[in-house]
């Protein structure tokens, strides 16, 4: 029973304190301040604006980056296409001959540069003949024509393993006529990409 008097005392003290307190203490709850609200709103708006601007800037930057990437891809594609076209340029031969003509050496030099600039590139050279020779002998002659181009390229430092050769004799003419114009076009070497030709560097 000793705790009860303490509680009573505490209650009395509290009552006494309350009785001699006089006027109540001022309200401490915040009063709205118009100026600070406006400031805060401004700050908030500024922040949002900044964020939006940043986002726009980022988007713009990204867009530009994407554009740049696309542009460079297109440029690269254009380059690849240009290099492919250079690579596909045919060389031609005299009747029943397989030696490289002097005016075709430059064409082969260009192919050497391309092969040097694109070390993963592998190609196939196919030799072709006109219809005047013997059908079966022309397979051997076409083989000579493909091989002489390969030998030229290899003699300028290109790895022989990067070049395949094949002969189609007179079986795949590109000009169908039966005159010297057509024959001259058909006595040729063609160059095609076997692998490593997806993105070619200009030499």
Residue 137 binding another protein, by CB under 8 A: yes
Determine if residue 169 is left, alpha or beta; phi over 0 gives left, psi from -120 to 50 gives alpha, anything else beta. Answer: left
Interface with another protein, residue 135, by CB under 8 A: yes
> For residue 86, what are its two tokens?
């250079």
Should residue 165 be labelled a site residue for another protein when binding is judged by CB under 8 A?
A: yes
At residue 194, φ and ψ (nearest 5 deg) are -90, -45
Q: Which is nearer to another protein, 80 or 91 (CB)?
A: 91
Which range in 35-43, 71-79, 106-114, 131-139 contacts another protein by CB under 8 A?
131-139
Report the residue from 91, 100, 104, 147 that binds another protein according to the rule CB under 8 A. 147
Is 86 one of the binding residues for another protein (CB under 8 A)? no
156 binds another protein (CB under 8 A): no
Does residue 202 contact residue 79 with C-beta atoms inside 8 Å?
Answer: yes
Which of 76, 90, 139, 175 touches another protein by CB under 8 A? 139
Residue with tokens 């190609």: 123
Any bridge partners for residue 128, and if so which?
169
- In three-state form (DSSP H/G/I as H, E/B as E, the rest C), the secondary structure along 109-127 is HHHHHHHHHCCCCEEEEEE
Q: Which of 115, 133, 187, 197 binds another protein (CB under 8 A)?
A: 133
Kindly state the number of chain residues that form the binding site for another protein, as judged by CB under 8 A.
22
């Amino acid at each position: 029973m000793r705790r009860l008097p303490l509680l009573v005392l505490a209650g009395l003290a509290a009552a006494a304190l309350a009785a001699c307190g006089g006027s109540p203490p001022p309200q401490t709850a915040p009063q709205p301040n118009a100026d600070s609200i406006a400031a805060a709103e401004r700050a908030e708006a500024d922040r949002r604006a900044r964020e939006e601007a940043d986002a726009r800037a980022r988007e713009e930057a990204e867009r530009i980056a994407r554009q740049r990437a696309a542009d460079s891809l297109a440029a690269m594609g254009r380059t690849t296409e240009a290099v492919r076209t250079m690579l596909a340029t045919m060389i031609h031969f005299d009747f029943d001959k397989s030696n490289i003509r002097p005016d075709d050496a430059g064409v082969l030099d260009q192919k050497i540069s391309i092969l040097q600039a694109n070390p993963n590139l592998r190609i196939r050279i196919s030799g072709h003949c006109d219809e005047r020779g013997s059908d079966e002998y022309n397979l051997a002659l076409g083989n000579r024509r493909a091989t002489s181009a390969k030998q030229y390229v290899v003699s300028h430092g290109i790895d022989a393993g990067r070049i395949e050769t094949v002969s189609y004799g007179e079986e795949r003419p590109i000009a169908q006529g039966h005159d010297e114009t057509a024959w001259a076009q058909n006595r040729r070497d063609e160059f095609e990409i076997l692998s490593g030709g997806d993105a070619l560097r200009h030499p």
